[in-house]
C-alpha cells in the first residue's frame, strides 16, 4: 500500500492578496511546506494540482455569482496561477493542471504535462491511500477528495492544512466528506 499527498491549488490567486483570496491560504502554504519537509519520505508521490485557465468560458464572469461563475483567476502563465511563495514546489513530484477550457474543481479532472489523468498517475505509482490538503475546503479540496473516494482510494483530509471560502460552506463540506468515508485528521503543523 502506497500513500500519496495531493496539494490542491495552493496558488497566489487563492491566497491573501489574490483575485479570489481565501483567508488563511498563505498559512496553508506555509504549513503544507513544513509538513512535506518533515514527511516527504513517507509519500510514494507528492502531487500538486493547479487551476490553469486558458479560456474557461462561463467560469469567468464580469458579474460572477460565486457559485458557477467567478472573477478572473489563475490565468495560465500569469502570476496569479503560480504556486504561493510559501509553498515549496520543489517538494512536488508531479503537477496536475485543470480548468483550461471549462470549470474544473476536482484535481481528478486535470492532467499532467504529458496528458496523464490523476487517477492513472496514482494507479501507476500503486497508490491506494491519498492525503488531501490545500485550498479551498468547500470547493476544489471537497471535489478532489470526493472524486478520490469514488476512484477507490482511502482518503484522509489533513484538516489543519486546508482553508475554506466561508465557515458555513466549509463546515458543510467537512460533514459531506466524513459521510463519504473521508477520515479527517490533524497533522500538527
Q: What is the per-residue pLDDT across 126-148, written as a single tens digit (0 to 9) for each?
A: 999 999 999 999 999 999 999 99
Grid coordinates standing for 44? 510514494
| DSSP conformational letter for 164 | -
**What are the domain boundaries of the chain?**
2-185
The residue ranges of DSSP E strands in the chain, in sequence order, are 2-8, 45-51, 94-98, 127-135, 154-163, 183-185
Q: What is the DSSP string of 104-156?
A: --SGGG-B-TTS-BHHHHHHHTTEEEEEEEEE-IIIIIHHHHHHHHHTT-EEE
Cα(81)–Cα(164) distance, rounded to whole angstroms?
Answer: 18
Residues classed as catalytic: 9, 98, 140
Residues 39-68 pLDDT 10s:
999 999 999 999 999 999 999 999 999 888
- CATH superfamily of the domain spanning 2-185: Isochorismatase-like (3.40.50.850)
Amino acid at each position: 500500500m502506497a500513500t500519496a499527498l495531493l496539494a490542491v491549488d495552493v496558488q497566489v490567486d487563492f491566497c491573501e492578496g489574490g483575485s479570489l483570496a481565501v483567508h488563511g491560504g498563505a498559512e496553508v502554504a506555509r504549513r503544507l511546506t513544513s509538513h512535506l519537509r518533515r514527511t516527504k519520505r513517507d509519500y510514494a508521490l507528492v502531487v500538486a494540482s493547479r487551476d490553469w485557465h486558458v479560456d474557461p468560458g462561463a467560469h469567468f464572469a464580469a458579474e460572477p455569482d460565486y457559485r458557477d461563475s467567478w472573477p478572473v483567476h489563475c490565468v495560465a502563465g500569469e502570476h496569479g496561477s503560480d504556486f504561493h511563495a510559501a509553498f515549496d514546489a520543489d517538494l512536488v513530484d508531479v503537477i496536475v493542471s485543470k480548468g483550461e477550457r471549462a470549470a474544473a474543481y476536482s484535481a481528478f479532472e486535470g492532467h499532467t504535462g504529458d496528458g496523464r489523468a490523476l487517477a492513472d498517475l496514482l494507479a501507476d505509482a500503486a497508490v491506494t491511500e491519498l492525503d488531501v490538503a490545500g485550498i479551498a475546503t468547500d470547493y476544489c479540496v471537497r471535489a478532489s477528495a470526493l472524486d478520490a473516494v469514488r476512484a477507490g482510494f482511502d482518503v484522509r483530509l489533513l484538516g489543519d492544512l486546508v482553508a475554506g471560502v466561508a465557515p458555513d460552506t466549509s463546515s458543510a463540506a467537512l460533514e459531506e466528506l466524513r459521510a463519504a468515508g473521508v477520515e479527517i485528521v490533524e497533522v500538527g503543523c
